Amino acid sequence: MSTQQSIVFRQHLRPEHVGEYVLLPFEVPAGAARIDIRYSYDRAVPPVPGAPPGNAIDLGLFDPRGAAFGSALGFRGWSGTARQEVFVAPDDATPGYLPGPIYPGVWHVLLGLYRIHPSGCDYELSIHLTTGPAPEPATTSWPAPEVRPETRWYRGDLHCHSHHSEATGSLEELCAAAVRVGLDFLAVTEHNTISHHRLLGQYRTATFLPIPGEEVTSYLGHANVWGAEGWIDFRCQRDADLARVIRMAHDAGGLVSANHPKTNGPPWEFSTFAGIDCLEVWQGPWFLSNYQSLAIWDELLRKGRRVVGVGGSDEHQPASGDSGAWQRLGQPTTWVYATALEQSAILEAIKAGHVAISAGPQGPHLECWGEAGGRTVMMGDSLPVSSGERVRIIGRVRGAAGLNLRLIGPKGLMALIPIDSDDFAFEHGLASRVSTYVRAEVAEPLAPEDVNEPAALMVKALGNPIYIQIA
């Protein structure tokens, strides 16, 4: 026989507490079989840049195994502002939340105070505990397909969302869409949750690889984590917190990418990029202020930071029949030169910088190498040379007739080469007496009056640098 118990929280939140996190403790007795949570607040507005003054209060949940910052074991879910009702049970949970044992002890609801109206915010939150026979825990396991090693370029998208965060489309629809547009791999990076990780195996095939990810979504900036084992905390309120989260991600085997550092990205408001592996240089269609992210990447490269440039659509999968927003899967596409369509191989190649980005799955596709003294390296690699030794930057661009190839170094534009065919080979020579780098990009020709206007540059493909190292 089942019984129910209810707990209610009401509180007035003041605007000076915006950006903080509030933990609401509640006791769960032995024998509980389900937890339901409902909440509401006044003056609700969308949690997006440019929204009018109002309230946006995020929702999450921790079990008795730990709720303090950095306590990954007790995490049970996060839905941000996407849902007003959530539940967890041993065999099922709301997308964004983790099914599993309903441990007796003190649980915590987490409220994230993203936006608070100048007059404050009144909220009410109710918790309903159902006791009685508990269903058997859910099990998810799918056989892994046989994947043969094959060293080549693989096409993917490193940033997207399903209904496990605030998108309306399902995880199944998201993966099917990725296959449909011709992607080989897809990093599913739900906001602040890993509820999708256990389900990705059912969409794995010999020709399609879903990669578990998490978009660590703080109020000061977003960062993708790919391939980490377990949940990574997001409650970063200062640079020191960010450093701790990056260490957690690395210790869990993940790579970290700072996301969309540009106007309305939302922007990156931490004062540092220290510790990141990658930078999302290209998010969504290029015209969405990606020139700002490109400038930040170039500045990091000039400072000697070997940060890998990557792209991601940031698509929030629409429900069937909906058109969605500007973002579309594979726009841009991140090309990774890897030894196999396996998670370890893809992530290893990304970390090495064996990466190019294009406007879509069909290209333009850019390849670039450095040659000196019989040695050849690809994008992301170092080319050791003697001072003044001649270096050849060579490459190939497919699907870009009528565009321009631009070679970029620490001082800016080094060479501008018109592309006159859809299978175009190029070569550029240089001799350096100091260590430097060269990266290539493909862009639309600029009008003379726009040459010095960064926002006018319409990029169609980007490559990672070749690092020329004076021995």
Which residues of 18-138 form beta strands (DSSP E)?
21-28, 32-41, 56-62, 75-80, 85-88, 105-115, 121-131
> Distance between CA atoms of 269 and 471, rounded to whole angstroms?
37
Q: How far apart are CA 19 and CA 407, in angstroms?
A: 42
Domain assignment of residue 415, given as a range: 364-471
| Closest among 467, 254, 441 to 356, alpha carbons compared | 441
- Other CB atoms within 10 A of residue 333 CB: 28
Same domain, 114 and 179: no
Q: What does the pLDDT profile of the chain (471 residues) look like in tens digits?
A: 566 889 999 999 999 999 999 999 999 999 999 999 999 999 999 888 788 999 999 999 999 999 999 989 999 999 999 999 999 999 999 999 999 999 999 999 999 999 999 999 999 999 999 998 878 877 778 888 999 999 999 999 999 999 999 999 999 999 999 999 999 999 999 999 999 999 999 999 999 999 999 999 999 999 999 999 999 999 999 999 999 999 999 999 999 999 999 999 999 999 999 999 999 999 999 999 999 999 999 999 999 999 999 999 999 999 876 666 678 899 999 999 999 999 999 999 999 999 999 999 999 999 999 999 999 999 999 999 999 999 999 999 999 999 999 999 999 999 999 999 999 999 999 998 999 999 999 999 999 999 999 999 999 999 999 999 998
Domain end, chosen from 363, 398, 417, is at 363
Residues 182 and 80 in one domain: no
Assigned token pair, 203: 């969409």
Residues 377 and 351 both lie in one domain? no
Judge if 98 and 176 occupy the same domain.
no
How many domains does the chain contain in total?
3
Answer yes or no: is 137 within a domain. Answer: no
Strand partners, 438: 466
Would you state the structure tokens that stand for residue 154, as one six-digit string?
A: 């693989």
Please say whether the beta carbons of 164 and 190 come within 8 A. yes
CA dist 275 and 307 (Å) reads 9
Same domain membership, residue 162 and residue 126:
no
Residues in CB range of 385: below 8 A, 6 or more apart: 372, 373, 391, 432, 468, 469, 470, 471
Pair (353, 435) in one structural domain? no
The Cα 380–Cα 14 span in angstroms is 48
Cα separation, 215 vs 265, in Å, equals 13
CA angle 393, 394, 398 (to 5 degrees): 140
Residues 172 and 103 in one domain: no
**CATH number where 32 lies:** 2.60.120.380
Structure tokens at 129: 């505990």
Residue 96, both tokens = 């964004």
d(CA 363, CA 224): 24
Listed residue (233, 253, 256, 254) closest to 245, CA to CA: 233
In a domain, 136, yes or no: no
- My answer on whether 184 and 168 are in the same domain is yes
Cα(463)–Cα(317) distance, integer angstroms: 27
Task: Tell me how far apart the alpha carbons of residues 153 and 338 are, in angstroms, rounded to a whole number.
Answer: 6
Do residue 203 and residue 150 come from a single domain? yes
Q: What is the pTM of this model?
A: 0.96
* Pair (115, 25) in one structural domain: yes
Q: Count the neighbouring beta carbons within 10 Å of the beta carbon of residue 206.
A: 11
State phi, psi for 245 to the nearest 5 degrees.
-65, -40
Helix (H, G, I), strand (E, B) or coil at 41: strand
Asked whether the bond before 15 is cis by omega within 30 degrees of 0, the reply is no
Q: Does the residue 284 lie in any domain?
A: yes
- Chain centroid to CA 107: how far? 29
> Are residues 118 and 190 part of one domain?
no
